Structure 1
Amino acid sequence: MVQSCEDMLNAPAFHPAPRVSYRHVDVDAALSEAGALAVFSFGAGAALSGDPRYLRVDLECFDAPAPLELWQVDGVVRHGTEGALQWAAGGGWLFVAVPLDEREHGGIRETAALAYRRLREFVGQRTERHVLRIWNYLGAINRGEGDAERYKQFCDGRAAGAGDFFADGFPAATAIGHHADEHRLQVYLLACDQPGMRVENPRQVSSWHYPRQYGRTPPGFARAMTLPAQDVLAISGTAAVVGHASAHRDDLDAQLEETLANLEALLRHADMAAGFDTHSPLKVYVRDPADAPRVREFLRQRLPGVPVLMLHGDVCRSELLVEFDGWRYA
């Protein structure tokens, strides 16, 4: 269909997506770069900074020294804090993080509820109110049996705190267990003043339709999110899940292949070209450090040239050994 001049003038001007890169620079240098919206370091040995745009993530990197992750936008960036909440905004984009100590709030369920309530209240007052992507990192994620498992408790709290926050649909998301202080919960998000487009994987049951065996509260997230300009796919935590069931228990090689098949299915369903390249920064979370060399070799063979940050993290299901997330630029 041919657009008229009036239609073209009235069409929304979508913001270019944040540029995500992994960089071997110091924190102050990264924060001083033009349009720096957020900077992430990884592991206990990383530098500290009081800048609200900076977050030291409680996941150790298998590479030393670990690179920083830098988000950059087109526009002047403002930033600040509200209690434990830290934020930065610019170019139509918003970064918000809420790191909390469970010991101060009554456990993982109550702390997750508080984190999501604070996010809901803060973002709800912003023009950048469309939450597109969320990351959740918590300690001892698989500890506990049945509904008492910490991840299931987290899901209960997340839903209680979010309320109607995601009434229009869930964002893309990741939930991974770290090996730092088990009482620390870190939640951070990327939001925009324009909505994205949710993408599901036809090989998998949508998370909010999971059966009761996965907990009282289904883990609500979209499998991926196309950002507003439709030039980037934000990919949720993706593992060897087919339908709703985990596949290939205790078989790392088969789980890696199944995960890659799920990633490719997401690209197809988002109408993006197959494959990942040098403009597709990914994170890979590996449960057992002894598996890191095999995972690295898989990445070298199957995803050559792709920027990868490989982190020691536990997948939300104890039988899953590896999980991927990241970005695919068109």
Structure 2
Amino acid sequence: MSSAKPDISPHPATDGLPPLGIRYEAMELDTILGDDRVLAVFGFGAQAPAAHADPRYLRVNLEPADATAPFEVWRVQGSVHARRDDGIAQSFDGDYAFGAIEVDEAAHGGIENAAAVAYRKLLAAVAASDTPHVLRIWNYLDAINLGAGDDERYRRFCVGRAAGLEQGFVDAYPAATGIGVRDGRRVLQVYWLAARAAGIGFENPRQVSAWRYPRQYGIKAPTFARATRAPTRSVQVYISGTAAIVGHVSHHHDDLEAQIAETLANIDSVLAAAQVAPAERLSAGAVLKVYVRRSEDVAGAHALLRGKLPAHTCLLLLHGDICRGELLVEIDGVQSA
């Protein structure tokens, strides 16, 4: 991995991709999918439709903090076409691509091999497309903290992901999230955003890069960048799943307020590294997902975040398990100028 400082001077207006539109929308699913500029739509929890014939729709089995959640909608400027092929749902508009795969762990002997299969298929799919540059990946797996030491399911997932990548992402890792669902299905869900031009990965000066974590965190370190700045005409930064980790150590055990404050400090730090202006960080251009481990913390987390963030920052709170058992909350999202 290169440590050289990249050149990210602003593109001329005629250069770069149009930014991806990302919003939370409380509309009928078929109405949303009726727009041919929609690249992908995500529903959350048991109240969302389980499936749809349109490959652009995916349900994520994370229960929303409220009874129902809005859909997360990705819009592009071009006309979108979609297909399913070899178990992968994909959609494209020429600038961007969405892809999703679900892998049954039982068919592959467990989470480790399921992760390897998922990532081999991901790499093959993007390599065969006109959008070969992965900007962002989301990983959702059941019972993420089950197991002790190196047998913990998240650590086995990391081993499998590394095996599946092999020579993939040699120059730079994309931003990513790994969160635990509680559906008991043992089906690994991986989805991604790719583009026809490469983004730039950034690290957080307050944290050790994930791929450099010491051996105490598992056989294979997690393989992701803390953020990716998209190759867009205006600033757009994809923020990886971020929690109260400083250096490589978790902080503020059992203190929700302090963990949220530390998490927001980490997000501010990585956005600064990506050269996002102070006034734009976690501004009205931010769309955030907040994963909360304990149901009794949801109301407090919502109140704390609303007290710390601008009123127009878009928030979606979901029940989810974090990759380390002592962490109570994780936040990911996108910051647009």
Q: TM-score, normalised by structure 1?
A: 0.95
Q: Does 1:74 align with 2:77?
A: yes
Count of residue pairs brought into register by the alignment: 322
Q: Does 1:59 align with 2:62?
A: yes
Q: Does 1:301 align with 2:307?
A: yes
Q: Does 1:138 align with 2:145?
A: no
Q: 1:106 aligns with which of 105, 109, 114?
A: 109
Q: 1:23 aligns with which of 22, 25, 28?
A: 25
**Which residue matches 1:286?**
292
After superposition, residues 134-213 of structure 1 pair within 5 angstroms as: 134-213=137-216
Provide, for residues 85-134 of structure 1, a one-character-per-residue CA deviation record: whole Å limited to 9, x for no partner: 11001141010000122112210001001000111111111120010100
SS in 2 for 1:44: coil
How many Å separate the matches in 2 of 1:38 and 1:241?
Answer: 31
Gaps of 5+ in 1: 1-7
The list of structure 1 runs, each at least 4 consecutive aligned residues, that deviate by more than 4 angstroms after superposition, is none
Q: 1:115 aligns with which of 95, 113, 118?
A: 118
Identity fraction in percent:
48
Q: Does 1:262 align with 2:269?
A: no
SS in 2 for 1:176: strand
**Which residue matches 1:3?**
none
Provide, for residues 54-98 of structure 1, a one-character-per-residue CA deviation record: whole Å limited to 9, x for no partner: 100010111232100000001011110112211001141010000
**Which residue matches 2:225?**
222
SS in 2 for 1:133: strand
How many Å separate the matches in 2 of 1:176 and 1:251?
Answer: 20
Q: How large is the RMSD of aligned CA atoms in angstroms?
A: 1.5
How many Å separate the matches in 2 of 1:329 and 1:160?
Answer: 33
Q: 1:245 aligns with which of 229, 242, 249?
A: 249
How many Å separate the matches in 1 of 2:68 and 2:114?
Answer: 32
Pairwise CA distance, 1:13: 3.1
Q: Does 1:322 align with 2:329?
A: yes
Asked if the contact 1:15–1:91 (Cα under 8 Å) also holds between the matched residues in 2, the reply is: no
Asked if the contact 2:47–2:68 (Cα under 8 Å) also holds between the matched residues in 1, the reply is: no
SS in 2 for 1:315: coil
Asked if the contact 1:23–1:67 (Cα under 8 Å) also holds between the matched residues in 2, the reply is: yes
Gaps of 5+ in 2: 1-10
SS in 1 for 2:286: coil
How many Å separate the matches in 1 of 2:109 and 2:171?
Answer: 30
Provide, for residues 160-198 of structure 1, a one-character-per-residue CA deviation record: whole Å limited to 9, x for no partner: 111111111100000000011240110000000100111
Q: Does 1:277 align with 2:279?
A: no
How many Å separate the matches in 2 of 1:105 and 1:317?
Answer: 25
Q: Which shows bigger deviation, 179-188 or 281-290? A: 179-188
Output the amino acid matched with 1:66: A
**Which residue matches 1:231?**
235
